[in-house]
């Protein structure tokens, strides 16, 4: 049964190493570089193992194809003078061309799956509790206010300042009478009776053009005598005597020093820094089993017993020899039947003889029976 080497074990080992390294926050850059170089070497080795496995699989597929082609290929006819005839043939012997399976052997190799490396473990720092006097509030200063002082004084104070006001002087009017034109002078036509009047050609009447003098009428109206005006009147200031409290000395400030404040607390101090512990990881090997070709499959000529060069007496002797050797050939009847051939093939396999569907001469000799 073919065993396939799984190079993924290399990737698993590498992933474990990298995850361990990533969990250590205090690793140095040099350690990361070393891990990267080792990862590259492991990846290269894994690729080489895969290449070898692919070569073996390709070789096995090629041998299977050759074997299948040989089984399906019909032997060339053995005409007289044909170079495919069996070499060194002896008179009275029969030959057949059979396929000899390729021979393999199982080879176990010790393959390195991971290089020697090292694991870095971080030993955490150690801490202890100590008491320390620490500053809580620094020394400072503050300003203290000195209040102002007051006194009572009497003063004449202005209640209302002097000012002016504007007074209105109304307009004055008078009544006047005057004669005005009612209708201006004009002319108009009137019917006449004398020959000097004009005669209207249309009606035959006499028309006279008469001047009418202008007419007048008397009207009374109220006219402005003096327009409205204003005048400015001065208003004197108003004062009163008051008693009030005024500042004698203004408020001031003075600086006061506030001393620093301390307290005692319990803190953790590092008594031993964190350390790195390097653990060597030896290189790892694995036994890989594979099949290795010993000899190619081939066609070869074999000397066999057939109806031409055998007799029932010889077959009987072979059946008796098989029975004596512990292989049941069936009835001892001088006929090569299915039971006899099963016994022959079992004998061939146990003795390391060529196994095929013929009773070859090599098997006959091994049974102690003369082929002739």
Contacts (Cβ under 8 Å, ≥6 apart) of 224: 171, 172, 173
Per-residue model confidence as pLDDT tens digits over 117-171:
888 888 888 888 888 888 888 888 888 888 888 888 888 888 788 888 888 888 8
For the four alpha carbons of 52, 54, 59 and 64, in that order, the dihedral sign comes to positive
Give the C-alpha separation, 171 to 228, whole Å. Answer: 4
SS3 of 94, please?
Answer: strand
Total residue count of the chain as it appears in this document = 372
Helix (H) / strand (E) element for 20: namely helix 8-22
Contacts 24+ apart (CB under 8 A), 321-330: 321/367, 321/368, 321/369, 322/347, 322/367, 325/367
Distance CA 69, CA 299 (A): 11
For the chain, list the strands marked E by DSSP: 94-100, 103-114, 117-123, 126-137, 140-146, 149-160, 163-169, 172-183, 186-191, 198-199, 206-212, 215-226, 229-235, 238-249, 252-258, 261-272, 275-281, 284-295, 298-304
The DSSP H or E segment spanning 14 is helix 8-22
Where residue 328 falls among pLDDT bands split at 50, 70, 90? Answer: very high
Residues in CB range of 215: below 8 A, 6 or more apart: 181, 182, 183
Rounded mean pLDDT of 261-278?
85
Highest mean pLDDT among 10-14, 75-79, 309-313, 340-344: 340-344
Residue range 70-77: average pLDDT? 44
pLDDT digits (tens, 9 = 90+) for 295-322: 776 676 766 666 556 788 888 988 999 9
Using 50, 70 and 90 to split pLDDT, how confident is the model at 100? Answer: low
What's the pLDDT at 346? 92
pLDDT at res. 192: 63
Give the per-residue pLDDT at 5. Answer: 38
Which of the pair, 64 or 217, is modelled with greater confidence? 217
Name which residue leads in pLDDT, 35 or 69.
Answer: 35
List, edge to edge, every strand of the sheet that includes 206-212. Answer: 186-191, 206-212, 198-199
First to last CA, the chain: 43
Using only the alpha carbons of the chain, give its radius of gyration: 73
Domain boundaries, the chain: 1-116+282-301, 121-138+262-277, 305-372
165: Cα separation from own chain's centroid = 88
Which one of 3.30.1490, 1.10.101, 1.10.150, 1.20.58 gives the CATH number of domain 305-372?
Answer: 1.10.101
Greatest mean pLDDT range, 4-18, 204-218, 263-277: 263-277
322: enclosing H helix or E strand = helix 312-324
pLDDT at 228 over 50: yes
pLDDT at 29 over 80: no
Segment 329-362, tens digit of pLDDT: 999 988 888 898 899 899 989 988 888 777 888 8
**Single pTM value for the model:** 0.30
The answer to whether 145 and 214 are in contact (CB under 8 A) is: no
Q: Give residue 320's pLDDT.
A: 92
Which comes out higher in pLDDT, residue 156 or 14? 156
Please give the Cα distance from 326 to 353 (Å, whole number). Answer: 17
Task: Report which of residues 155 and 323 the model is more confident about.
Answer: 323
Rounded mean pLDDT of 243-262? 86
pLDDT higher at 332 or 20 = 332
CB 273 within 8 A of CB 2: no
């Amino acid at each position: 049964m073919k065993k396939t080497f799984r190079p993924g074990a290399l990737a698993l080992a590498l992933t474990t190493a990298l995850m361990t390294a990533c969990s250590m926050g205090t690793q140095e850059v040099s350690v990361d570089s070393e891990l990267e170089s080792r990862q590259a070497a492991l990846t290269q080795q894994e690729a080489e193992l895969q290449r070898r496995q692919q070569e073996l699989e390709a070789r096995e597929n090629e041998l299977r194809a050759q074997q299948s082609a040989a089984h399906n290929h019909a032997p060339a006819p053995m005409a007289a003078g044909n170079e495919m005839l069996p070499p060194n043939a002896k008179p009275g012997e029969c030959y057949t061309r059979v396929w000899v399976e390729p021979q393999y052997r199982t080879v176990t190799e010790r393959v390195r799956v991971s290089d020697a490396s090292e694991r870095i473990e971080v030993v955490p720092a150690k801490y202890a509790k100590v008491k320390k006097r620490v500053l809580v509030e620094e020394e400072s200063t503050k300003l203290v206010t000195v209040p102002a002082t007051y006194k009572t004084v009497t003063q004449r104070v202005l209640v209302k300042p002097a000012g002016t006001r504007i007074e209105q002087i109304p307009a004055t009017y008078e009544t006047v009478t005057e004669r005005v034109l009612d209708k201006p002078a004009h002319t108009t036509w009137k019917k006449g009776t004398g020959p000097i009047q004009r005669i209207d050609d249309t009606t035959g009447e006499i028309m006279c053009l008469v001047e009418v003098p202008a007419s007048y009428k008397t009207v009374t109206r109220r006219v402005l005598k003096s327009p409205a005006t204003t005048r400015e009147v001065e208003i004197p200031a108003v004062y009163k005597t008051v008693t009030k409290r005024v500042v004698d000395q203004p408020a001031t400030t003075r600086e006061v020093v506030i001393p620093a404040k301390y307290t005692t607390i319990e803190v953790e101090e590092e008594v031993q820094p964190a350390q790195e512990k390097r653990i060597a990881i030896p290189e790892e090997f694995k036994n890989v089993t594979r099949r290795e070709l010993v000899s190619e499959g081939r066609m070869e000529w074999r000397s066999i017993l057939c109806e031409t060069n055998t007799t029932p007496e010889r077959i009987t002797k072979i059946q008796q020899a098989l029975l004596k050797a512990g292989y049941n050939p069936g009835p001892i009847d001088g006929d090569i039947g299915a039971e006899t051939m099963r016994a022959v093939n079992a004998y061939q396999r146990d003795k390391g003889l060529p196994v095929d569907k013929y009773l070859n001469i090599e098997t006959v000799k091994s049974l102690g029976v003369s082929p002739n």
